[in-house]
């Protein structure tokens, strides 16, 4: 099979010239007990992939990249009885083991065993299976390695969906939808008549906008430096948009109770991955408001905040990984909203290209020219 493999992180842009990802021929692995073999049919390019390629998220190399995808089950390993060849599936980048402390508390997105396997490039049920033609170990990316014709993944990394869901739509539900929608509905728990501001209008931020638009009476403000992304946010359900320098004025103009209460949003979602933006969000919160950090800042970035404001005004800083999602529960819920016309995720699909164009796609994403570029892998 053909697979996009990263051998060296930190190559300079433009990536079309430095070619960090090479298409290599790997043996198609067989699924072990508790695993399934998936024929990958659509794979999306995400900023989390870029963070591995530029070296800001250190992962063991060489690694077969990609973590957001849809496809069809080709084979099942021993003990897998509830998934069958021919099933259409969405792949999930954190496999919940069901037995660790996080999973038992109902938070499989924070699975300890899944996180450990993802960190080492292995799978939930055993060591890495991918091998080059010469026998070299190729690490798995987040238990998925989606930029490949096939992927062996843990049973816990797939959610079966109805066969009529378009593959281009389905692919975006494994990361962007879980992360962005979950940040608002699960982590932030936005409720009726509250206000939200979303910083960063990539696929995750725009999914957060769509989620906020589901809440009756919600005021939704969307912030991004690019005018075309602000226009897209309006189509996704935002009522007000602006550049980063407009954020404070928009909050003053469109929040508050109108009876002398101070302005401020109930919820801020930081989907940029910037410590500076995180710091800028805190002053925009109302008393008791929450800031949800969903982006991935470089690990060397730090924030400096006034400590008193947390106890003094009751505001909260919340981390959100994979939107605090329960994939088996949330993907069907979100697909139901899509079927009802309430989640226009098709707006985020910029185009679909052959896998051979993956390096140029990295440039397009880094430069903000695409929201979700999908690749045909089979």
pLDDT digits (tens, 9 = 90+) for 211-222: 999 999 999 999
2-174+344-376 CATH choice from 1.10.10.60, 3.20.10.10, 3.90.180.10, 3.10.129.10:
3.90.180.10
Residue 199: CB atoms within 10 A of its CB come to 26
The pLDDT value recorded for residue 256 is: 78
Query: Percentage of the chain surpassing pLDDT 90?
Result: 97
Strands annotated E in the chain: 2-6, 21-25, 35-44, 63-64, 68-76, 88-91, 139-140, 150-154, 158-161, 195-199, 219-223, 240-242, 265-270, 285-293, 316-319, 349-354, 372-376
The pLDDT value recorded for residue 262 is: 83
The pLDDT value recorded for residue 258 is: 56
pLDDT digits (tens, 9 = 90+) for 133-152: 899 999 999 999 999 999 99
d(CA 118, CA 131): 17
The pLDDT value recorded for residue 293 is: 98
The pLDDT value recorded for residue 259 is: 47
Q: For the chain, which ranges sit under pLDDT 70?
A: 257-261, 378
d(CA 207, CA 124): 28
**3-class secondary structure, 367:** coil
The pLDDT value recorded for residue 260 is: 52
In this prediction the pTM is 0.96
What residue ranges do the domains of the chain occupy? 2-174+344-376, 178-321
Strand order in the sheet with 265-270: 240-242, 219-223, 195-199, 265-270, 285-293, 316-319
Tell me if 2-174+344-376 shares its fold with 178-321: no
d(CA 343, CA 75): 32
CA distances from 45 to 176, 238, 248, 303 (A): 10, 24, 32, 28
Which CATH architecture best describes the domain 178-321?
A: 3-Layer(aba) Sandwich (3.40)
Q: Which residue's entry shows tokens 């919940």?
A: 96
Q: Which residue's entry shows tokens 């302005």?
A: 263
């Amino acid at each position: 099979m053909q697979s996009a493999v990263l051998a060296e992180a930190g190559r300079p842009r433009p990536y079309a010239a430095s070619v960090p990802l090479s298409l290599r021929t790997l043996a198609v692995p067989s699924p072990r007990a508790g695993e399934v073999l998936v024929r990958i049919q659509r794979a999306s390019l995400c900023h989390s992939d870029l963070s591995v390629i530029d070296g800001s998220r250190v992962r063991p190399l060489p690694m077969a990249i990609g973590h957001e995808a849809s496809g069809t089950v080709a084979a099942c390993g021993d003990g897998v009885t509830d998934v069958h060849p021919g099933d259409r599936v969405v792949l999930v980048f954190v496999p919940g083991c069901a037995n660790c402390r996080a999973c038992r508390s109902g938070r499989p997105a924070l699975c300890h065993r899944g996180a450990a396997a993802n960190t080492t490039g292995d799978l939930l049920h055993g060591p890495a299976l991918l091998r080059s033609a010469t026998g070299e170990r190729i690490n798995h990316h987040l238990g998925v390695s989606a930029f490949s014709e096939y992927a062996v993944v843990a049973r816990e990394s797939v959610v079966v969906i109805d066969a009529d869901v378009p593959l281009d739509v389905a692919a975006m539900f494994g990361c962007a939808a879980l992360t962005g929608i979950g940040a608002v509905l699960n982590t932030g728990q936005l409720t009726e008549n509250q206000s939200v501001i979303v910083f960063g209008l990539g696929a995750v931020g725009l999914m957060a906008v769509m989620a906020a638009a589901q809440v009756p009476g919600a005021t939704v403000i969307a912030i991004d430096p690019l005018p075309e992304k602000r226009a897209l946010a309006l189509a996704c359900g935002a009522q007000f948009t602006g550049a980063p320098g407009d954020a404070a004025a928009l909050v003053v103009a469109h929040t508050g109770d109108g009876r002398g209460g101070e302005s401020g949003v109930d919820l801020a979602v930081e989907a940029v991955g910037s410590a500076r933006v995180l710091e800028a969000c805190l002053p925009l919160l109302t008393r008791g408001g929450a800031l949800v950090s969903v982006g991935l800042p470089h690990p060397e970035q730090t924030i400096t905040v006034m400590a008193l404001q947390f106890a003094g005004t009751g505001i909260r800083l919340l981390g959100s990984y994979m939107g605090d999602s329960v994939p088996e529960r949330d993907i069907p819920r979100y697909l139901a909203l899509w079927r009802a016309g309430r989640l226009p995720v098709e707006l985020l699909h910029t185009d679909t290209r052959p896998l051979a164009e993956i390096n140029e796609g990295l440039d397009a994403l880094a430069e903000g020219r695409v929201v979700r570029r999908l690749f045909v892998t089979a």
